Structure 1
């Protein structure tokens, strides 16, 4: 038995990386778990796999209703799906701005909006948003991505205030640079992938990248009924990157 036994959870972007690690941990701890993703080919049989596109409101609503119908309700929503972008404000055109914000911000809104009626019927309702260190630390060449994640952090606090009377807790996690397939794709596109990995590793006080499992653990902590007094919280999972100012390594 676990605190998640008898509860149901939906993880968006759960096909790989942090989302996959979170879905696996929720299932391991007893939750009926569903994954919403554009590509569900690699989702294990332990999860209900639902193919949907967060930029399509009708697709999202149908997917969420299907999850609630097949799993007998919905208690936990993990808004993890997102896409990245590199560059300064001079580098990304309007189309890319609209595309990233449509997934990272409005996509989160679509999933949450569809889930709210189901969550309101739960005694242990929780939403956890995957945000980023980029929401509160100025990172080079991440203007568009940072803007989208800054919106997610602010939106988390606003949602926590709005839906507390409905018994729905809303929190977010802010990972540092995580060792995920998405980060690996960024490294692969760099002129010198090994040097870029070394640079990303060095900027975190722990001297290593965050693991997907560590972020999943933080998400499950916030989603758990044992955290029933925690809402409107931004939890850093960044190896101390946001809060620590250490002397340079000798």
Structure 2
């Protein structure tokens, strides 16, 4: 009985060490430690062993069983580690390859156009002056000769915030502010770019759009200067 157990242990250990997959290990576990395996058969036949030999044989049986279970556990961990290593090797990124630069953002066409217009006029000696997009009634209307009963003041055309403040409908208010702040008899050469707002929305209109207005105030200025500038 002892020799048979030792022989069984050596054969089982050799099979477990040779197993190359988790499925093979599972099959060997069933083969040697399952209900129909040799270890179970030996335990069932312990009644036929002489009483004086049973303790010694029982101890050997337990040792063999524990050895096989430990070998099975160790081999399972080894195969799992090898599988993980192979997966990492297959999935790794080759850092020696040239990288791909992510696509960068770009400026909106309106911004590009606005900058180009400013650049052109600045080269011609114009000042670029911007004003508030929320303006008061005076600079948006009255200072521009738009009286109280003018159609442009209609609530359907203008975004009013309060009775006196609104989203500017034109950049002309910047011109009025500039003329008011300049010293008398001082020449003015300016443009006033910026967003303006009107309550109008359809296929060809947007509630917010951009304007660039120009103003020149000086002596001896004529339409010839306007044509030359354009």
TM-score range, shorter chain: under 0.3
Q: Which has the higher helix share?
A: 2
Which structure has the higher relative contact order (CA within 8 Å, separation 6+)? 1
Q: TM-score, with normalisation over the residues of structure 1?
A: 0.23
